[in-house]
Amino acid sequence: MLVSLPRRLALFAAPVTCLNFAASLLIGLPMRLAALLAFAPQSGLRHYLKAQFADQTFKGLYHWNWFDAAVLLPYFAVMIVLAFYGVHRYTMCYLYFKYKKNYNPNPLRLFEELPRVTVQLPIFNEQFVIDRLIEAVCAMEYPKDKLEIQVLDDSTDETQQVAADIVARYAALGHPIEYIHRTNRHGYKAGALDAGLKVAKGEYVAIFDADFVPPPDWLMKVIHHFAEPEIGMVQTRWSHMNRNYSMLTQIEAILLDGHFIIEHGARVRTGDYFNFNGTAGMWRIKAIADGGGWQHDTLTEDTDLSYRSQLAGWKFKYLPEVECPSELPIEMTAFKTQQARWAKGLIQTSIKVLPLMFKSSVPRRIKVEAVYHLTANLSYPLMIVMSVLLLPAMVCRFYQGWFQMLIIDVPLFTASTASIAVFYLMAERELFPKTWWKTFLYLPFLMALGIGLTVTNSKAVMEALIGLKSPFVRTPKYRVAKKGEKSQASKYRKRLILAPWIELLIGCYFFAAILYTFSNHNYFTAPFLILFVMGYWYTGLMSLLQGRFERWRTGGANTDEESSPKPFPVGV
């Protein structure tokens, strides 16, 4: 009877969707009741370990059925794909250290006479940070007769007047700066940069977004690398003025450190293609033209142009020792806006650029790395699929035994998940050799945040895959660097619609999964599921309540309520 009844119940539950929690419970109900009766008089750790790993009472009673196959086959397919991306992270770490010596921070030659440089500052509604940016750029050490500064303003609010007044003041002081305002946002940032190039006088162009503050010696540290005639672009490393502002900014900084230390470092040292990051970099204008110029059919125009320019034969350099301080988003919704734009833009770029890569004569190794680089955000919709299947898969795997889980699940988990910890730990160890161990404290929250981003980023990726276009959504700039400072830019917050509520519901689903694992004494799975609950609830609640958190933290009313009559909820 014990052999057939579970199978009958499984067949009964199979037509029901895999998301049905009740069906998952019914599959193993007889076995659980029998186990409960068999072991009821006993308790303690010894009994638990024996029951989980040594007891053979029910060995051979479980048999596969088509419901299990419908759940486990897609589940393991997703896990295998995620494992491939995880192995790639291990590979990046290996290549970074293997070819660590393949880097010379010094230019191979120097210009006898400094060339003319144009500095472009693309802005859109940045009234709270534009003065800081212009002040920093005008303080840069470079001959004024060889320098041109363009403030490319697409703003539709008070920023127009603020920026125009600041430019006029610095121009009166003798700085070579001009204000260029467009009456439309055609092409968004790419369109503004292209419009500026049409009237630029320099041979080289440096680009800084509004939330960056380049140091005075930045131009002099970068320009001489272009004395090598094959160099088309030089990228410098982002550092972060408000890294210690909150838990969120700490995690954001670690995420970006992984990209700028391990990813960029490994790619440039092995000769693979890597990308301009949209700011804190300098281009040879001829390399932009040879790559086809700025194009706005993707949301990551920087990566798009980077690949086209490298396919045209230009070489790129990366200078990790040259820092350019920047401001991290301090609100969850601003961070999600930024991440969704990057996720969608990279998939758009992969659809556009990868066919060109495959047709080109570049080495196969570079093509493979480009696939990993440009398609990495496909992991977000895959994570959604895994989230849906995780609970029913857990039920099926529970009755298959611990040995199968050990030889199949653990290797896949190690490849897809543990690689994240290794990747970011190695980056922080390189950047902060004395304090890198503190990263261990942030890893659970980093992984939880990555899980929580799956809803908004999956939506962005699916829009890219089906060809749905969307406008370039700027990341709001807040001008805060220290704990306790209040944001001046609450007027740039936008209302959320559905995403945070979906995140909260998915978090509840995983909370139910935790309760189910405890009811089956499957305690080893609970820590993993807790990350899902933390991630979805954190991103959901912070998106809905960020404005209130700001008000509570500062202990007073929102001084910007006049210009932002509906500050709550806030979001993308």
Give the contacts of 91 (CB within 8 A, at least 6 positions apart): none
Give the closest residue to 320 by CA, choosing from 277, 291, 373: 277
Strands 147-153 and 177-181: parallel
Q: Determine contact, residues 394/517, Cβ cutoff 8 Å.
A: yes
- Residue 249 tokens read as 């900014």
Write the burial class of residue 513 (CB in 10 Å: 0-12 exposed, 13-18 middle, 19+ buried): buried
Q: Which residues of 384-398 are buried (b: 16+ CB within 10 A; e: fewer)?
A: bbbbbbbbbbbbbbb
Q: Is there a catalytic annotation at residue 272? A: no
The Cα-based distances of 413 to 85, 94, 287, 408, 417 in angstroms read: 12, 19, 43, 9, 6
CA atoms of 112 and 229, how far apart (whole Å): 14
State the sign of the Cα–Cα–Cα–Cα dihedral 505, 509, 512, 514. negative
Write a three-state SS string for 448-469: HHHHHCHHHHHHHHHHHHCCCC
Share of the chain residues as helix, strand and coil, in percent rounded to the nearest 5: 60, 10, 35
> For the stretch 210-226, what's the b/e string if a residue is b when 16 or more beta carbons lie within 10 angstroms of its beta carbon?
bbbbbbeebbebbbbbb
363 Cβ partners below 8 Å, 6+ apart?
A: none
Whether 302 is a known active-site residue: answer yes
Active-site residue identified among 209, 302, 304, 409: 302
**What Å distances lie between residue 321 and 105, 127, 211, 249, 338, CA to CA?**
8, 31, 20, 22, 25
- Cβ neighbors of 221 (< 8 A, separation 6 or more) are 236, 319, 322
- Residue 355 is encoded by which pair of tokens? 């066919």
**Residue of 68, 154, 211, 409 with catalytic role:** 154
Enumerate the active-site residues: 154, 302
